[in-house]
A and B are shown apart, each in its own frame.
Chain A
């Protein structure tokens, strides 16, 4: 099976002020791929371009090797939930799903089936008007599943859901990926994606910032440094530097050490008779690592948040 969802040199926005450019994507089947970026980075736009709802300024996106507009019954190739509100509120959920099914030659049996799968059987005849956001999300997922497609795309699927709904969606995505499908999910919450996605694509600053397995991203970004306090910071700094660490002073007697872990530092200090008053490994949260990469890409960020750091003893 060839790569089912690909983009080459994708650019979006106005020619003089591009949202992003040069986006190359290959979304692999059988796993959940998370598209992460700040609000306004172009996550939704990327998905809209894949679905042919927007035209790219440059480049192209292909589904199963062909442009989306060229597919005769596209719901058999891609199921997508971009906007849970994209429906006529006066229609019953059954009629809504049926009208979409018919446009792709899908029968009534499958309509009943997806309504059951998403737990909407009991409200099938109710008009969509009174639906909660969670129910609308489920209805949108029912539409995405109609054609039993190998590719599924969800834009900010957990936004506004209660914890139970979030849990349901997470498990649901995992089961879809386990069936061998390509699951492409976007979120502006790094923590959410770290829990859900096996592969991360981060966009910001108008380009692709990272495209790697979630585990590798955590490995590369989540650990930070060790804070050491000592009555002889100068001696300790020279010692650690000689053993390959990068050391920078912090406060009067503190050192921020990178490149050596806490046990190694303690061992060296003890071996050379240097007292140590404090030894604290510090981890950047995943959110922080993500903020680091996207720092310049957030157009309106709150200054007070800059430089916050969590210490994990």
Chain B
């Protein structure tokens, strides 16, 4: 706090704006800062807990009766059946809040004062939310798969993680959370209103699916979009793969 160290920051600032070194410094700074922000609010943990509980519990609950029934056409997809509808969208709230909570509280003014490059802030937020959603999503996928298969195994319907094609399917399922979370950041930044952006989440993901169900003048039967799983023959990854469909369509 003396005049002598007033110019302390100059070294980093001196050449200023446009050079690459400056941009890298800024990007690294902002990424660290956004990570601190994300982990220092309770809502982050609540969203992750709620997403984990409803997704895994949904799959497990479905597995109990299913395991007792006839042979499952696709036991791998069954591990993610609890994700397929709304539960997995909960992680989108993480992305939404990353932006809207700042708008609602005024924090955004502090953020933009510290980092006047707004696109850098948006990019850093997106990257941090995506990274967290990836780690969390993959953990959740493995957990969901393991627990569900454990139940199915009691009826000899389970599949091992080492089974061909299974690791890929589990990875892809986990990646769905990245897609949902990043969409949440986008909606949050565009709508800048928590309730509005959260409402828009299911609309964005399910409206296209709903449109596929429209009768013929609006939706030609042979339209390529209408084929639900263009890459998969019937029987493999069918129902539960609604989740993976997010990434494909």
Contacts and interface: CB of A to CB of B under 8 A. Distances in A.
Interface of A: 51-53, 66, 68-77, 80, 82-83, 85-92, 95-96, 98-105, 117, 143, 147-150, 179-181
Task: Indicate the member of B1, B25, B101 with the most A CB atoms within 10 Å.
Answer: B1
A72 B6 CA distance: 17
Interface stretch (B26-34, B129-137, B220-228): B26-34
A87 B106 contact: yes
Contacts of A83: 106, 109
B33 A103 contact: yes
B116 A51 contact: yes
Interface stretch (B39-47, B50-58, B68-76): B39-47
Contacts of A80: 113
A23 B32 CA distance: 38
Contact of A86 (B12, B26, B107, B116): B107
Nearest to B117: A69
Contacts, number: 133
Contact of A71 (B8, B36, B116): B116
Contact of B105 (A66, A71, A87, A98): A87
12 contacts: A52-B113, A70-B17, A72-B16, A73-B9, A75-B9, A82-B109, A91-B37, A91-B40, A95-B36, A99-B34, A150-B6, A179-B6
B6 A88 contact: no
Contacts of A74: 113-116
Contacts of B216: none
Nearest to A48: B109
Interface in B1-23: 1-3, 5-10, 12-13, 16-18, 22
Contact of B106 (A69, A86, A99, A104): A86
Given A85-B105, A103-B111, A105-B25, 7 more contacts: A71-B17, A72-B13, A73-B29, A76-B8, A95-B40, A99-B34, A148-B5
